[in-house]
Structure 1
Amino acid sequence: MRRNNTKEHEIDLKSWFFKFRSKWYMFAIFSVLALAAAYVYIKSSERIYQYSATLLLGDQHTGSKKAQELLNLLEVQNKGIKVEDEIGLITSTEMIRKAMLHLDFNVSYYKATDHWLNKIADLVVEEQYETAPYVIKLDTSSAQLVDVPMEVRMLPDNKFELKVKGKNVARYNFRNHTILEVLPEVEFTKVLPVGQPYKDKYMSFTLFPAKDADIAPVKKHFFVVNSLDSQVGHQQANLHVSPIEREARVLQLVSRGSIPEKEILFLNTLMDTYVENDLQEKNQNGRKTLEFIDKQLADLSDSLRISKQALSSFRSANRIANIGVQSNIHYEKLSQLEIEKARITTDKIYYQNILEQIQNGDGIAQSVSPTVAGIQNPNLNNLFLELSELNKQKAGYEVNATQKNQLLQVLEGKIESTKLAIVANLKNLIRSADISQQDVQRRMNQIESNLARVPENERHLMDLQSQADFINKRYDFLLEKRAEAAISLATNTTDKKIVDHAAMVSAAPINVKPKMIYMLALLIGLAIPAGLIVLMSNVDNTIQGKNDLSAITSIPFLGVVAHGSKSDKLAVVNNQRSAIAESFRSIRINLQYLLSESSFKVVGVTSSISGEGKTFCSVNLSSELALSGKRVVLIESDMRKPTFGKYFDTHNASGLSSYLMQGLPIEDVIQPTGIENLDIIPCGPIPENAIRLLELPKMRELLDKLKEHYDYVVVDTPPIGFVSEYFILMKHMDTTLYVVKHKYTDKDMLGQINELYAAKRIKNIYMVINDLDYSNTYEYGYKKKASYYYV
């Protein structure tokens, strides 16, 4: 069983191969078209190359290592950097925008080469960088037309022709990089002098001839003034940044472009801008810290001078040099409490200052940690670090995400909640400072009550001394912190480092590989016709051959009738060595062999619908039986659409209908054909009700009489798909030939005859395929080699 299935599968593959081979011209046409399209693509595609650079990300520390170990200003957990955040910053629109502002890519130069494809359209276009025969100097203080091709044609007398044509063209302001207006349509042609400024409402520039120009013949030159947004979008789309491996802090920057010099310059500038931006941000944080300390020192400087002056004046006026030991102890405690109160007050002022800046929307919350000023609160520091981390993540997502992006909205919610937590912590610290102030004040009041017994002058002296000491200590503390901050700022360095500058990865373009493209085009050129053939074969529901019949019906197969000329109706008689004659000869022999053990004389020939060659088969089969020496009579039982007149020189004045309806003698309805041993009974006059006539007992009598005088009675019946006469006649048939036409008969038309055969209501029925072209089928393709035996 397995062997049979394998064999059928092999035959099916060969059948498909035969179908493909018979449609070889489709493969040739599509292959040529695909290869031609590949050639046009290869010639017209701009060569894109790949460029690469590497960048090292350091840790989170700023300043020199020695300064960090000495100062240790930030006593918070070092969470390190996140590579994903840094990638987001590098590829962000703002970072690429800063890099592009350092580059002069405002004008791009192009040429349409002198290639035969450009006679059809501008298909082969190349960008020129520092090789164009002219240079455009823009007046960036004036508006310019951007992102539209401007054709340049050099003329004699040191002039050139400028041709501009475009729709929805923007007028652009290069000073603030904004679009002034969008013009629905722009089209003009001007002749301008070379080397002289030109200015109108659309543009302002000067064209200079280039020294080292490309003198290769070209079809035309044109240039495009690029807006900053288009430059950023182009570079951002071609930029890809990723770590060289997982958990690595070395980033690989990959860019794609057609001009090596431009892409290498862009990558190097982008890395320089990124490193410079990182250092600027760190310096800005240090400067903000110094500004805060300087502001506090300025306030304390006047207070310190006033307090020292007051102490000196009081000593001189009251001639006081020493204070008693007991008073010193009390005043020392009081001084300590005043220092503590001052520290608390300073912390409170600092907390209020930060709270005010956050509530006013100042960006200090993202850049300055409160520990720099000497106030250390771990919770507050962690919240500031968390807020900074969230802002970095937001910057990374904003590269490609919109404001409606769900992840971006979640980040914004976290940022807002962190800010609220910072505000809440600051308020709690302020309330805590108020409570501490009250407690210190209570203890100071207690000590002051103890000092009430001290002489007024000594007590007042101690007050002045204590105030001066407190201000002096606070001033010294801030001076120390300022020196530390200044050292940190002076030794500040970036932790980002360029490892490898940009370079071309390979000299071969990454988008145009001729061998691969031609191979792919050839495969497509072969796949399309193969797919069309498979599709047409699956869509075609007509009978294609014996295998189709075997798949849809269990009725035995008798044979095939070869394809021939439509004008040769009696092919068996007129050309006995033709393929059609040989087909009917094979059918006759097969029929006689299959029914050799049974007595059969009445042969019915029917089909599904008109046009399948039922009458042609019945006439030629009858002729073949007659030529073999058998006496045959052919009855035309299709009294609705008589067709015997196309085959024989006969008349319908009398026939089957005359015998059944008028009772004419059988001798009067039988007509000779001129073919030896073959007579016919035409349908006769067309009756009003053919079915009722065929149901008459006289039909049985006619057939019984004919069987007495003839060896075979062949009945050409109407098609069963249109009328029901066959179901009346089939009870008289000894055998039935069911005719289907190659690539004409629909498979669904065999449903009715299949039901009759399955119900065993019809016996000795055989299938015949008519009009089969041997050269157009795999199953009988071998027969086309037998043309030598046919005439």
Structure 2
Amino acid sequence: MKKANKEHEIDLRSWLFKFRSRWYLFAGFTLLALAVAYVYVKSSERIYAFHSTLLLGDQQTGSKKAQELLELLHVQDKGIKVEDEIGLLKSADMIKSALQRLDFSTSYYKVPDHWLNSGFDLIKQEQFETTPYIVELDTSGIQLVDVPFEVKVLNDKEYELTVEGENVPRYNFNRHEVLGYVPYISFTKVLKFGEPYTDENISFTLRRNKKGAGEPPAKKHYFVLNSLESQVGQRLATLNIDPIERDSRVLELSTKGTIPDKEMLFLNTLMDVYVARDLEEKNTNGRKTLEFIDSQIATLTDSLKQSKQALSSFRSANRISNIDAQANSTYERLSQLEIDKAKLSTDRQYYAAILEEIENNQGFTEAVSPAVAGVQNPILANLFLELSDLNKQKAGYKTSATQINPMLKEVDGKIASIRSAIIANLKNLISSADIAIRETEKRITTLETTLAKQPEHERRLADLKGQADFIDKKYEFLQEKRAEAAISLATNTTDKKIVDRASFWGNGPVNVKPNMIYLLALLLGLAIPAGLIVLIDNVDNTIQGKNDISSITNIPFLGVIAHGSKSDKLAVKTNPKSAIAESFRSIRINLQYLLSSTNFKVVGITSSISGEGKTFCSVNLSHEFALSGKRTILIESDMRKPTFGKYFNVSSEVGLSTYLNQDMIADEVIQKTDIENLDIIPCGPIPENAIHLLELPRMNKLIEELRGKYDFIVIDTPPIGYVSEFFVLMKHMDTNIYVVKHKYTNKELLNQVNELYAAKKIKNIHIIINDLNFDKTYEYGYKRKASYYYV
């Protein structure tokens, strides 16, 4: 748990050591960054900020009198919206109108005579009024735009004009349109100031400018002709318009550019065009209002005459007098007829209901329906009375006679006859009622027609009088409003107001601030190498020091071997006072101290892969044992890739392979060295089945025999990561040394030995770090100060 927490801790001193050890990276990147910053500061055009303010006025547009008139005429009022006005100010049409007032179609540039411009034109400066020449365009001709025209002043009268470009637009400044493209153009001509030059692609005149007489000489002068569309695009890209506060009608206009006079002139002209256009729109609205009133007055004059003439003609034609008495008499007669019509309609409905009951109700012949109680017709009433008497007779006969009784049949016949008479009588009554109703309706229609004529005359007369009065009042109203609109148009003013004219914004350029740029370059010069070091350190998955060992494995750490020359293979012998010799001396002492309680003799030295220096460690550790007075023998068990020939003058004809493969004794394969107390057994001829030889009982016999003759037996074993010989030899060893190389061994290679150690399949194993450079690791940086102890 403690180890996991340490993985997330940041060792600042360790990182400072890593940064300090690579100081040259910081120095190089810092110098490079400062050099780039210097070039940027010198070559960048200075861009300045400018601003102005504009008041939108009240929420009405146009003449106030016209607005009042439009309100009375129920015309919808449209107030100012700040967003709409901002959109209008930033519209391409508004900017185009402002640019057409200005002479920005030609942009002048110079390339100063500076050492940065010796190879390339890095520093360029735009000029406005201090140019050594002025270009006068012939707008009726064709011009080449968006291509530089280089001008070299030869003397007061002549200049050299050079132009070169591809796909250059041919532009008409009168119509503001591109007429085509020139695929390629290149020429140099000597021309005279003040004389027009015209060809199929260009037409202008260059004149000397007195304002530019005192300008210092430059490496190059050139100008570019700009189409109106490109100028509008440039202005749209730099122009910003915002209210100074939310819901405020004061707008702040800001822009950026390299020429202060040019940018302020543009802002002021844009505001002037906006205000002038607003006044023109108001005047236009006022004139339209006056024209509208005049047209209405002209129409009302004719209408007034016509209405008065119509009123007089109507009175004469209809001889209208007092018609109230006639109207009352006609209303009384009409009311009486409506009552008669209602009575006739009721009687008819009554007769129709009786007829329907008689025709549909079969039992009606046996009993009189209650509906007939109110019958007023005497004939019909008598028939119903007769029918009632016959029904009574029939009821009497039924009590004492059968159905075939002659008297009963006679009564039934009479009942049927009377029933037919009643139906015929009802139909006649209904028909008579229909005739009477139609006649009454005709009389009602006649009276209504007569009555309708009288109020129509009165209504028509009232309409004519009202229309004449309305036209007369409207005519007087419009005459009054016409006078007001004429006064308003004569005194019309704009509601837009320029509050602040264009001025500088800030204390200097907004794009180039040397102190800040140099500070940023310095920070980048330090941050980039620091980031690279951090990145490399995180990407590098090799062993960097003891801390890496302790973080990825629990195997005990024995010590480190100092970094040395590759040619110094027997460092313990050739340079006994070196840091490498001292490292092996320290490992030998640590090993003896840790295993003092055990009677260890056999030391196995291995590693993960080839190249980590296990043979180098085996040879020098054996030499250190021998120098301490211990009889030591070194066995080369790596029979796949023998390397003892690089360290000792040995014979490769006999060795471990011949001992295991043939019937030889140990003394025949043991070879003496020029080092006292140190013998070796090289691998001998390389066998085809190395692992099988190591598994033979003779290997165990050899180790046991050597235990009796030597104090220490050091076995240089094959790497664990490649072959399996180490696991065969492991049973013979009293202790094992696992070699990892500084900044060479990958951390993941320790997974295998970690698993073996965790499963307790390896006993007494220790780790050492080989080839550790004290100057490149913070953990052992203190040993650099002890260099005077070593030779």
Please report the TM-score for the alignment, with normalisation by the length of structure 2.
0.78
Q: Which residue of 2 aligns with 1:13?
A: 12
Q: Which residue of 2 aligns with 1:572?
A: 572
Q: Which residue of 2 aligns with 1:55?
A: 54
Deviations 1:468-514 (A, max 9, x none): 87766654454344334334433433221111111112341111111
**Secondary structure in structure 1 of the residue aligned to 2:740:** strand
* Mapping 1:53-452, distance limit 5 Å: 53-62=52-61, 73=72, 80-156=79-155, 158-213=157-212, 214-301=214-301, 446=453, 450=457
**Secondary structure in structure 2 of the residue aligned to 1:685:** coil
Q: Which residue of 2 aligns with 1:365?
A: none
| Cα distance change, pair 691–463 in 1 and its aligned pair in 2 (3 A) | closer
Deviation at 1:74, TM superposition (A): 6.5
Contact 1:62–1:492 at 8 Å: present in 2 too?
no
Deviations 1:393-413 (A, max 9, x none): xxxxxxxxxxxxxxxxxxxxx
Contact 1:561–1:772 at 8 Å: present in 2 too?
yes
Greater shift in the superposed pair: 655-664 or 77-86:
77-86
Q: Which residue of 2 aligns with 1:345?
A: none
**Secondary structure in structure 1 of the residue aligned to 2:210:** coil
Q: Aligned partner of 2:637: which letter?
A: S
Cα separation, 2, equivalents of 1:62 and 1:578: 97
Q: Which residue of 2 aligns with 1:680?
A: 680
Q: Aligned partner of 1:36: which letter?
A: A
* Mapping 1:625-774, distance limit 5 Å: 625-774=625-774
Contact 1:604–1:737 at 8 Å: present in 2 too?
yes
Deviation at 1:186, TM superposition (A): 2.8
Cα separation, 1, equivalents of 2:612 and 2:512: 55
**Secondary structure in structure 1 of the residue aligned to 2:657:** helix
Cα separation, 1, equivalents of 2:105 and 2:562: 76
Deviation at 1:304, TM superposition (A): 6.1
Cα separation, 1, equivalents of 2:546 and 2:165: 64
Tell which structure's C-alpha radius of gyration is larger.
Answer: 2
Deviation at 1:6, TM superposition (A): 8.3
Cα separation, 2, equivalents of 1:723 and 1:446: 131
Q: Which residue of 2 aligns with 1:511?
A: 511
Q: Which residue of 1 aligns with 2:596?
A: 596
Q: Which residue of 2 aligns with 1:334?
A: none
| Cα distance change, pair 177–70 in 1 and its aligned pair in 2 (3 A) | closer
Q: Aligned partner of 1:230: which letter?
A: S
Cα separation, 1, equivalents of 2:472 and 2:14: 106
Q: Which residue of 2 aligns with 1:27?
A: 26
Cα separation, 1, equivalents of 2:464 and 2:740: 128
Deviations 1:199-244 (A, max 9, x none): 1111110000001214302000011111111111111211111111
| Cα distance change, pair 69–464 in 1 and its aligned pair in 2 (3 A) | closer
**Secondary structure in structure 2 of the residue aligned to 1:89:** helix
Cα separation, 2, equivalents of 1:70 and 1:477: 11
> Which structure 2 residue ranges, 5 or more long, are not aligned?
324-448
Cα separation, 1, equivalents of 2:39 and 2:54: 40
Deviations 1:64-91 (A, max 9, x none): 7788779964668877432222212111
| Cα distance change, pair 196–69 in 1 and its aligned pair in 2 (3 A) | same
Q: Aligned partner of 2:562: which letter?
A: A
- Asked if residue 483 in structure 1 is aligned to residue 490 in structure 2, the reply is no
Cα separation, 2, equivalents of 1:656 and 1:306: 142
Contact 1:700–1:732 at 8 Å: present in 2 too?
yes
Cα separation, 1, equivalents of 2:45 and 2:225: 19
Deviations 1:342-368 (A, max 9, x none): xxxxxxxxxxxxxxxxxxxxxxxxxxx
Deviation at 1:532, TM superposition (A): 1.0
Cα separation, 2, equivalents of 1:595 and 1:473: 129
Cα separation, 1, equivalents of 2:307 and 2:630: 150
Deviation at 1:104, TM superposition (A): 1.2
- Asked if residue 554 in structure 1 is aligned to residue 554 in structure 2, the reply is yes
Deviation at 1:546, TM superposition (A): 1.0
**Secondary structure in structure 1 of the residue aligned to 2:190:** strand
| Cα distance change, pair 507–463 in 1 and its aligned pair in 2 (3 A) | closer
Q: Aligned partner of 2:169: which letter?
A: A
Contact 2:62–2:281 at 8 Å: present in 1 too?
no
Contact 1:107–1:225 at 8 Å: present in 2 too?
yes
Contact 2:52–2:253 at 8 Å: present in 1 too?
yes
- Asked if residue 522 in structure 1 is aligned to residue 522 in structure 2, the reply is yes
Cα separation, 1, equivalents of 2:130 and 2:303: 70
> Identity over the aligned pairs, expressed in percent?
67
Q: Which residue of 1 aligns with 2:535?
A: 535
* Mapping 1:774-785, distance limit 5 Å: 774-785=774-785
Q: CA RMSD in A?
A: 3.3
Q: Which residue of 2 aligns with 1:355?
A: none
Deviation at 1:707, TM superposition (A): 0.4
Deviation at 1:298, TM superposition (A): 3.8
Greater shift in the superposed pair: 302-311 or 770-779:
302-311
Cα separation, 1, equivalents of 2:519 and 2:2: 38
Cα separation, 1, equivalents of 2:687 and 2:695: 13
Q: Aligned partner of 1:544: which letter?
A: Q
**Secondary structure in structure 2 of the residue aligned to 1:170:** strand
> Which structure 1 residue ranges, 5 or more long, are not aligned?
315-319, 328-441
* Mapping 1:595-634, distance limit 5 Å: 595-634=595-634
Aligned residues: 663
Contact 1:63–1:489 at 8 Å: present in 2 too?
no
Greater shift in the superposed pair: 710-719 or 69-78:
69-78
Cα separation, 1, equivalents of 2:62 and 2:531: 68
Cα separation, 1, equivalents of 2:248 and 2:534: 52
Cα separation, 1, equivalents of 2:57 and 2:513: 39
**Secondary structure in structure 2 of the residue aligned to 1:282:** helix
Contact 1:60–1:495 at 8 Å: present in 2 too?
no
